[in-house]
Structure formats: structure tokens, C-alpha cells
Amino acid sequence: MQRGLTTTDPKNWFKNARVNNPDALEVIWQPLYDSIVVPSDGSNALRLFQNPIGQNNKTIADTNMELGGQIPKGQSFKCTGIEVLLLPAGAIYDAEVPTVSNDMQAFYGGGALRLQIGSKDFTTQAPLLRFPPSVRQGGYAAVSTTATTITQSIDYSSACGREFTIVDLLLESSQNFNVTLLEVPSLPSGQDAMVFVTLNGYLARNQQ
């Protein structure tokens, strides 16, 4: 017997040495997310999930895609819902509250979202408020006086609600897909913003 081989059957040499076990899967809750700049003057189409970490200066804070537009080999993803989170530009101070609210209203009150797998559309819905984030943003305002600066809690417009539900949709490895935001409205503030799109769901991968 050669060194390192624990069986005399050559058919099992490579099977026993595998790092991944193709006969067993582990499933974890791991949403996929991606982000893109929303131009202040709007856009006809913003395509997401195409640039992985390391491409176009993207980091884990921007996306968790390992490949552009597809799930890595040995993995699959069951999508359960979609969320869209807008992050307006700039700090949120007392004077900025109306500006942030206007941008939120314009963005979520218009546009549409399309999920495409391969060459087929699987959902197209409008407006973008149909895809609210499940977490609500907060903020604060700095109110100045001649003697001191007081920080107080404020409230401003934001989108929040139940996710847009996807039923029985599995993304296989190496299958191309994308999410596109269509007819995105211009932002009244005149400033670019950032939008995150999250595909909620379960990731299945070969067990190690």
C-alpha cells in the first residue's frame, strides 16, 4: 500500500481524500446582497448582483457575491423574498429631514424591480415600495443654540414592512441571474444615494 492511502481499493482512494462530501449538504440561512449607486438624476436600469467582491472596488460591505451573476459550483440558493433598502446621501441633521423624506418618497413611489434567471423573467413588480426593507432606519438631528449643541432624536420618512415573498425558487450553481431596478426616479435632493438589494433565503453547499 502506498503512503497516505488507507484502503487497498483504488476506486476509493480519491473518494476518501475529498475535502467536500458531495453526498451530504449543509443548509444555512444566508441572504445574498448587493449594492449600487443611485444617480441623482435617476436611471432607466440599475443592474445588480453582477460584480463580485474585489471587482469595481467592491468589498464585503458592498456585496457578498463570490461570482458575477451566479452561484458558485457546489452550491445552490433557495430564494424566499426580496428587500430594497435606500440609503440617502449625507448626514441626517435637522435641516436635512425634509430632503431625506423627499428622496425616500420619490424613490419608493416610482420605479420597478425585475428578477431574471437565465433569459426568463420570474417577477416584475412596481413601485419599489412593493419591496420594503424589514428593518427601519433611524437618525438624529443636531440642534444648535448660542450656548450649546443639543442632540435629540428625530423621525423621518423611511420604508419598512413585510418582505416581498418568493415561493419555490431555487438558483442552481452556474445559473445566470440578475436583479434590475427599472425606471428609477430622480432624487429631489440632487445627490446620489446608495441602494442595497437583498435576496433572502437559504444557501445549500457540500458538507465538509
Q: How confident is the model at residue 21 (pLDDT cuts 50, 70, 90)?
A: low
* Grid cell at residue 81: 423574498
Where is pLDDT greater, at 19 or 43?
A: 43
Let me know: does 35 contact 63? Beta carbons within 8 Å: yes
Is residue 196 pLDDT above 80, yes or no? yes
Where is pLDDT greater, at 157 or 30?
A: 30
Where is pLDDT greater, at 86 or 18?
A: 86
* pLDDT value of residue 153: 52
* pLDDT value of residue 179: 97
For the entire predicted model, the pTM comes to 0.80
DSSP string of 116-177, one letter each residue: EETTEEEEEE-SGGGS--SS----EEEEE-SS-EEEEE--------PPEEEEEEEEEBT--E
Where is pLDDT greater, at 11 or 40?
A: 40
Q: How confident is the model at residue 160 (pLDDT cuts 50, 70, 90)?
A: confident
3-state SS track over 10-52: HHHHHHHCCCCEEEEEEEEECCEEEEEEECCCCEEEEEECCCC
Is residue 177 pLDDT above 80, yes or no? yes
40-83 per-position pLDDT tens digit: 999 999 999 999 999 999 999 999 999 999 999 889 999 999 99
